[in-house]
Chains A and B, each alone.
Chain A
Amino acid sequence: MNPAAAEGTDAFLSEFEGICRRIAMRAADADRSASMPNANWTDLVESGYLRLFHPRPVGGSAAGATQQILAMERLARACAGTFWTATVSTLLCGKMLHVLFPERHHHRWLRGIIAGELIGCFAASERGAGSDPASYEATLVDAGGYYVLSGEKCRISNAGVADVAVVLARHRPRRGPSVEPGLCYVVVDLKRAGVTRRELDKLGLRAMSWGVLTFDGVKVAAEDVIFDADMDRTLDCVEWGQLLQACCAIGVAQSALAEAVVFAQAREAFGRPITHLQVVHARLADMWAEIDASRLLTLDAASTKATEGKARDLVAMAKIQATEMGVRVVDDAMRTLAGWGYSSAHQVERLYRDVLANIPAGLTNDRLRELLACPLVGADPWTYEPFDWLSAAGLRI
């Protein structure tokens, strides 16, 4: 499938590009004010973006994989913070609700999310825990007939604005590092008594809310809990998050390349545009080739997932590759703009801040590399193996 061909004939994408251009014009202000303009949300709802990822019975438009990826990239190009807000809600939270929870939750929450009336989030990370879910402390306790959720989730996208959260909590007390953690998924109405929120300051994605959700004895109905979630289906949902990060990196990198090209064509030095300098145009070529390669891999990962329901390793690899490419390419754009890259008069400095979010997001790339390699080499990524790194270096305690 040639993406260029898809773009040319796709009416939705052409119209969506127009909407994205409007969103792009508001991006600098959104970043400065650390808030998403209401107009962005209205535009997105009207565009049908939120519906692309879901089947028709729940109000989706059942878009194909290629269209989903290309749409995500376009939105990320326009405003990464808006992209994250909308996509975390509809894709990450939305898919978890759809895949892990029964139909009554689809009516209660999913339809509203897809229609843009509600915003969702996924709350797994904690202050002291990210890659190691066994060390989560937020706990769901059986109160006889209902449950009570207590604890804190941290670094949660959409925390400040979400109506609903899918929370990953433990339902068994900690017994030690190697014991099955006993996690469960809890749908929490964030307007319930006992829920408080606090915003966290951050480097980029400033249009997106990001922060802490504190649950102080929040009452939860039994029907809002999924115990022992199917691991396979859970990983299917995790893949959507990884595609989100990959697409964000590709979109932001593409914007950075576009900025760099415009700048380099206009900027003169020594009597000619700097595109005439070999280092400059060679760097632009590398940037193009890098984005191109990432887009190919991500599109293929998404297509494979659409055909087979999952694409585990391929999606994870696409995430690692694209997110690291994004940082390299935006760095190259900074170099192309040189001094002007440092100024807020150009958008590259915002893109630089935004693109960095994608490497640690979802599962951070260090952890992902380990998860990909361990099964192949017979190592266990869930058990810490003490090792002696001193003797090899000729040291002794």
Chain B
Amino acid sequence: MAAAAHPSVSTGHDDRLAEAEEFARREVAPSAPARDRESRWDPEVFRRMGAAGLLGGPIPQEYGGAGLSAPEFFSLQLGFGRGCEDLGLTWSWAVHSLQCAAPIWRLGTSEQRERLLPEMCSGETVAAFADREPDDADTSNGIATRAVSAGDRWRLDGVKHGVIHAPFADLFVCTALTSVEPPVVSAFLVERDTPGVTVLAPAETIGVRTAPAATVVMRSCEVSHENLLGSDEASSGRARTLARLWERALARGPWVGLLETLTTRAIERLRSYPGLGRPAASTQSLRAALTDMRIGVEVCRRLELRAASLLQRGDRDAHRAAAVAALRVSEYARSITGQALDINADADDQELTARAYRDVTFLSCLSEPHDVLRSVIAGSLLNLG
């Protein structure tokens, strides 16, 4: 059934995909409804993802990762997405692996890589990307958090919003201005128990409840120079760009799998219509909606695969392709989860459909504004920057 609904299914890494799907079905899906109801993240589930080679997917094997290329990692994500029934947890995976582990791998010193990556790959160390700030901050580059050099230490001051994993993360990859004029945004590795770090209580949210977020406040938070990500401000300065590129290109990889599952379930739902007493009048329009769901899935899969391929090759079009993928997959996810809800409207069990809808909607608050993505694309189109 899945193959009929989704032609051209193969990404070329079918075994890996099937294993990841099986893992997710077994280890993630069963507890998803309860974790969502309780706004609870489960460290054991995360550690099992580590043991299954998911968290360290793109990280080289010498640091405990699986050493996968970006397209191979996408296969893993696709499979996981199909089986997990938990969009929130896929975002948990993304922030940890793509926004924290990947920059440490690509830009960190050898000491930082050796010290931090193995336990990040296993899930023993949980990382959070502390980057976004409150709207009312007096910002440059969207960042007001300052890192001031004082002797052999850096002193950090600032507030970070909507930091996924903040309630329990061991390590924050935290962006801060090391210079205001000209503005230079660097990245720091801040351990949770560093004096001056306060994590506020998480707020009640309508979605992504399986990956709770909170505000992180840093007041006169002192870290050693070894906590600057990378050997100097120059490499550290690339961390934010890299984290954004990897997030845009790959974070929504699992969504494609989840959207496939929603589409497959929609097919099953429509097949069973005759016995449900639902007015047949609405059926043709729902069949049309089903076709649109399938089209969306086909487009999303190819956009993600292309973003992964260009990222892997370091192609000059990678930034634009990543922004296009992030923008269009987000938009399709909104319409597909909405269509799934329409098709599922009278069903007894709407838990997955409704939760996916909430998660996708709320994720547009947590992730980058779409207008930023549009600016990236327009900038490339208009030859600006």
* Chain A contact residues, CB within 8 Å of chain B: 2, 4, 261, 265, 275, 278, 281-282, 284-286, 288-290, 292-294, 296-297, 300, 304, 311-314, 317, 320-321, 366, 368-370, 372-379, 385, 387-389, 391-392
B281 / chain A contacts, CB cutoff of 8 Å: 387-389, 392
Complex partner residue of A289 from B7, B267, B377, CB under 8 angstroms:
B377
Complex Cα spacing A375 to B4, Å? 10
Q: A281-B378, A388-B281 are in contact. Are A376 and B5 (CB under 8 A)?
A: yes
A275 / chain B contacts, CB cutoff of 8 Å: 378, 382
Complex Cα spacing A263 to B291, Å? 36
Q: A293-B328, A296-B303 are in contact. Are A311 and B375 (CB under 8 A)?
A: no
* In contact, A261 and B381 (Cβ under 8 angstroms): yes
* In contact, A285 and B328 (Cβ under 8 angstroms): no
Q: A289-B328, A392-B279, A392-B281 are in contact. Are A369 and B287 (CB under 8 A)?
A: yes
Chain B, interface size category, equals: 35 or more
Interface code B233-270, partner A: CB below 8 Å = 1, 0 otherwise? 00000000000000000000000000000000001001
Give the shortest distance, in Å, between B277 (CB) and chain A (any CB). Answer: 11
Give the shortest distance, in Å, between A71 (CB) and chain B (any CB). Answer: 21
Q: A387: nearest residue on chain B (CB-CB)?
A: B280
Q: A285-B377, A391-B279 are in contact. Are A370 and B284 (CB under 8 A)?
A: yes
Taking chain A's interface residues, is the majority helix, strand, or loop, or is none over half, making it mixed? helix
Interface CB pairs A-B, < 8 A, 30? A2-B306, A2-B309, A2-B315, A261-B381, A278-B371, A281-B382, A284-B382, A285-B374, A285-B377, A285-B378, A289-B324, A289-B377, A293-B303, A296-B303, A297-B298, A304-B7, A320-B291, A321-B295, A366-B288, A369-B291, A374-B287, A376-B5, A377-B273, A377-B287, A379-B283, A387-B280, A387-B281, A388-B280, A389-B281, A392-B279
* In contact, B8 and A388 (Cβ under 8 angstroms): no
B374 / chain A contacts, CB cutoff of 8 Å: 281-282, 285-286
Q: A2-B309, A293-B303, A377-B287 are in contact. Are A314 and B270 (CB under 8 A)?
A: no
* In contact, A376 and B267 (Cβ under 8 angstroms): yes
Complex partner residue of A282 from B4, B270, B315, B378, CB under 8 angstroms:
B378
For the A-B complex with A281-B378, A370-B288 known, give 11 more contacts whose Cβ atoms are closer than 8 Å: A275-B378, A281-B382, A284-B378, A293-B328, A372-B291, A375-B4, A376-B4, A376-B271, A387-B283, A388-B280, A389-B279
Complex Cα spacing A297 to B299, Å? 6
Q: A295: nearest residue on chain B (CB-CB)?
A: B302
